[in-house]
Chain A
């Protein structure tokens, strides 16, 4: 890790850097290896070699996940594509009840990108990996011609060990369970939209990008009966809750008055006509917790820095029986209908559906 810095020719990545020759080795060493670290300057092999027994000591199943990261702009308030690529995959492991251990990092680089930008992103990844307690142990680099990709695509694959006895699953929600989220919703989505600049809004909103593994351990210690955990990324909390409701065959009702949204995100959404429930988060999870453990779960999470505004957002209900005496034939009530329906009690006490979105939310003027 303390190898003498090599000098790369020029300040921009060229196709030569992807050709497999010396230029490419220099790029990898100078940008990625330097940031991620290689044990004792040993030459890199084609594969990372991981001790099975060490993994097995931490759990009885391997959690294995992969994700590609494509974000515009690459650098945004609160993070960059590197931070996202590490925390996103760490969180995908952690919501399965795993201890995240190792990541791989594959990048596709557009010819012409500035090498300093790559160094910055690699640095972010290294910092994020340290914070998340994971090692980036292997990777790949490709360079493609100009316009063949949008600056930089990053794919990270992660491995973790799932602790014995943990059984989290999207089909496990049951009537009576409580839906818990760990704080302000929509920060990341709003930060990205604002950072793109075309809406010309001057906004202090930052991405909530963060590793949730520690918070999850705290939650599972306080509420070992937790049924399901999901991180609420693209499509926001609304999408995740819909997925859980559908997979578990239940109805879920959320409470608008309890929905935690930062004032600036609220203002942002009011200006553009967006619903924060559908905005992406990168440091928020949805937990389905048995009623008996809900109070302990909320308290434990709220005491953690990443759970400051934790709230019980809703409840899991029986899918509504059409024979229910509450006038099941009232066609105006969105709670009628089959399992998998998510509704919200509005701040007026009325009800609305929280449906799956088709495509991305668009700002509107009407």
Chain B
């Protein structure tokens, strides 16, 4: 497959791994502690685990999994809000597959579907709009979630619905922005991050400039990275070179997709349809200012929160849940007391175990970081 296979080439990967080891060896700091690079995006987490990349890298480099998983940070209250919309008999509630298993206060979308609510999985918001056209007697609601990567698609869908005057379609908007989160992370005292792998597809939309503050104010290297194994490895190499050279810059590893200025058409669509909320709740991280967006009044006819009254309750995470610390990179998945005991893919306590790109689910599913042989309890080594 073009533009995929070339970036999964084993020999090129081996070269990069060798080079990474060499550069690491030349960085004095690694004698005292491992270097920590945070990959912000859940897609990077998934790729790293799925290809077993971390196991190929020296232990002097630690990859910290960040909060760039929009499903993982969806608050329980918002899942409940979605379910309250889905409970209306006239509603066909449509969603990406990722959100189906996220637990709300009492049940997930999947469980509600089993109990009789009309909840359907779609691949694209455009398919939800098509459903609305086919069922003029029903109200089709689309569960919009995702960072800036997915915002243009829901925005353009709303614009298409408006252009064609479709009156039975709306979006339940839970889109969030990445920059405030990064800022909150960098302001957090518990973290000791040395560099970042930046979210390649978010950058495809917003460009690389919004991340300049990471280099200029916080003096950490920030390399916007693609998602194939060679992209991840090359980006790591680029971060290490910066560290070795004492630099802190924003660089673009993913130039075949990401333009410095991002996508003007995508940004225009977002600006036309959305505006920032004053604050938005993030599961595990609490409320972050100006991190969520809502649909502008001009498009109220397509805003599910205008069409339907939602409880909007702030529901606390289960007290034992340590998702917040794992999201911030303070804890590794296997260091959470609930990991693989009370919290498993079968019985997820928190969203990091539900979403396939969540650090806990990825770790559980791909790395087997749970019970070790010969012991009946979790033994954390190193």
Contact = CB atoms under 8 A, between A and B. Distances in A.
B97 interface: yes
Nearest to B72: A366
A350 B369 contact: no
User: Most B CB atoms within 10 A — which of A319, A322, A334?
Assistant: A334
Given A329-B381, A352-B51, A365-B96, A200 B10 contact: no
Contacts of A353: 365-368
Given A341-B368, A349-B56, A364-B96, A198 B14 contact: no
A349 B15 CA distance: 13
A193 to B, nearest CB: 11
A310 to B, nearest CB: 23
A86 B373 CA distance: 43
B100 A338 contact: no
A353 B51 CA distance: 10
A156 B288 CA distance: 58
B52 interface: yes
A346 interface: yes
Nearest to A337: B373
B369 A331 contact: yes
A213 B326 CA distance: 51
Nearest to A344: B52
Nearest to A274: B97
Contacts of A337: 368, 370-373
Interface stretch (A169-177, A265-273, A284-292): A265-273
A331 B380 CA distance: 8
Interface in A328-344: 329-334, 336-338, 341, 343
Interface residues of A, number: 41
Interface residues of B, number: 58
Interface stretch (B42-50, B234-242, B266-274): B42-50
Contact of A322 (B1, B53, B372): B372
Contact of B8 (A341, A347, A363): A347
Interface in B119-149: 120-124, 127, 130, 146
A362 B4 CA distance: 22
Interface in B1-57: 1, 4, 8, 10, 13-14, 42-43, 46, 49-56
Contacts of A338: 371, 373-374
A258 to B, nearest CB: 13
A320 interface: yes
Nearest to B13: A348
A355 B365 contact: yes
A351 interface: yes
B356 interface: yes
Contacts of A329: 381-382
Contacts of B51: 346-348, 350, 352
Nearest to A266: B1
A364 B97 contact: yes
A198 B356 CA distance: 21
Interface in B73-124: 96-98, 100-101, 110, 120-124
Interface of B: 1, 4, 8, 10, 13-14, 42-43, 46, 49-56, 59, 69-71, 96-98, 100-101, 110, 120-124, 127, 130, 146, 150, 229, 334, 344-346, 355-357, 364-374, 380-382
Given A348-B52, A366-B146, 15 more contacts: A329-B382, A331-B380, A332-B54, A334-B52, A337-B371, A338-B371, A347-B8, A348-B8, A348-B51, A348-B53, A358-B346, A362-B97, A362-B98, A363-B121, A364-B96
User: Closest 4 interchain pairs by CB?
Assistant: A350-B52, A362-B97, A334-B368, A353-B368
